[in-house]
Amino acid sequence: MPKKIPQKQNNKIEHGEKQSSRAIGNIRPREIVAEMKDSYLDYAMSVIVSRALPDVRDGLKPVHRRILYAMYEDGLRHNVKFRKSATVVGACLGKYHPHGDTAVYDSLVRMAQDFSLRYPLVQGQGNFGSQDGDSQAAMRYTECRLSKIGEETLKDIEKN
C-alpha cells in the first residue's frame, strides 16, 4: 500500500512543505550561515570594545581595574607586607571577575613587570617573568601589593 503524502488544505502548511517563503509574525527565515556570520561579528565587536581595548581615560582594561580594586579593598597598600598572588587572584575571581584564574593572574603579572609598563601598578616579589620570554612562576610562589603609583590611581575611588 503506497504511503499517503500530506496535502495542502485551506492555506495551511502540512507536513513536507517548505516554510522558507512565509514569515511567521516577526520571525523571518534566514540562512544559518548568514545569521552566524552577523551574530558572531556583533559579539566579537562587543567583546573588543568592552573588554579587549584599554579605556582611553586610564589605559586600563576591565580586568586590570578589578584586580586593582580587589587589592585596594583588601588593604594591600604599598607600605604593607606582600600577600600571595593566589590570594589576590582568588579575591578578584570571587568578587568581580567570574572568568578563569589564568586571565586574572596573567594581567596581575603584566601590571607588575617593569618592562611591560612604564610605571608598574603592582609591586611583585618573586619570579614575574622576564623580557626574554621566560614565563612567570605559579601564583602560589609569587607575592604582590599595590605600588605607589597603583595606589595613586585609586586615591579618589571613595569620592562620589
Residues with active-site annotation: 141
User: In angstroms, how far is CA 10 from the centroid of its own chain?
Assistant: 53
Residue 59's φ and ψ, nearest 5 degrees, are 75, 10
Q: What does the H/E/C string look like for 106-143?
A: HHHHHHHCCCCCCCCCEEEECCCCCCCCCCCCCCCCCE
Tell me the C-alpha distance between 121 and 54, whole Å: 15
Secondary structure (3-state) at 147: coil
C-alpha cell at 3: 504511503
Helix (H, G, I), strand (E, B) or coil at 22: coil
